[in-house]
Structure 1
Amino acid sequence: MQHLEPNEPFYQISQAAKLLGITSDRLRTYEEEGLIKPYRTKHSKDGKRLFSPNDIEWLIMIRDLIKLGVSIPTIRILLIAKFPTNLSKLQEKDLEIIELLLKLKSHAVYSTIFYN
């Protein structure tokens, strides 16, 4: 079996949705909201969306934040926010959210969304 590079567009939207346990419509919402920029093929009028392994990893963290009750607009705001350095005073759920956000901000996909 061929090894996929982390940034190699591979998974179609239905495959990505299945891997994430969400709907294709939810993935389209994430794209519309600016949380992901999937690769678009040039073969069809609109281009098929393809997601890389890095995109899937990124989307797992987005999905987990939403499961914790963080809204999409809040995620967008938090991704550009600065975080407190003294994490010991925060509640457990807050820590989990901040840890996920820090992972997102250090992820390879972050720069393709917020600095392109």
Structure 2
Amino acid sequence: MEERGFSINKHVENCNIQEDSMEALRLICDKVSVCGVVLKVPITKELLASAASVRSKYRNHLEQDRKKRESATQGLKRKAVMDELEELKKKVLTEVCEVLQKDADQLAE
């Protein structure tokens, strides 16, 4: 006989979800299996409070992810601008060196 926990884990792992969500699903499945049926799970004040705060926690999580992505994007843009500026500096210095070399050659003649 196959253990029930393994089939739940297999089902959960087949979904494309993050580790935190996977742990939460396992906890829920464990609690339901302890109670026997979903309808027998006791609804406590803590459970209701947790359910009420989940949406705001999720929004905060999404906002933090968005800020991280924006920060990474800005960092990449800043790096691209700095690289371009460095290339322009090198180009200008090369041109100045060529002009100075040409002037020195003319003065030497």
Do they superpose with TM above 0.5? no
Larger strand share, 1 or 2:
1
- Compare the two structures and name the one with the higher helix fraction: 2
- Higher RCO structure, 1 or 2 (CA under 8 Å, sep 6+): 1
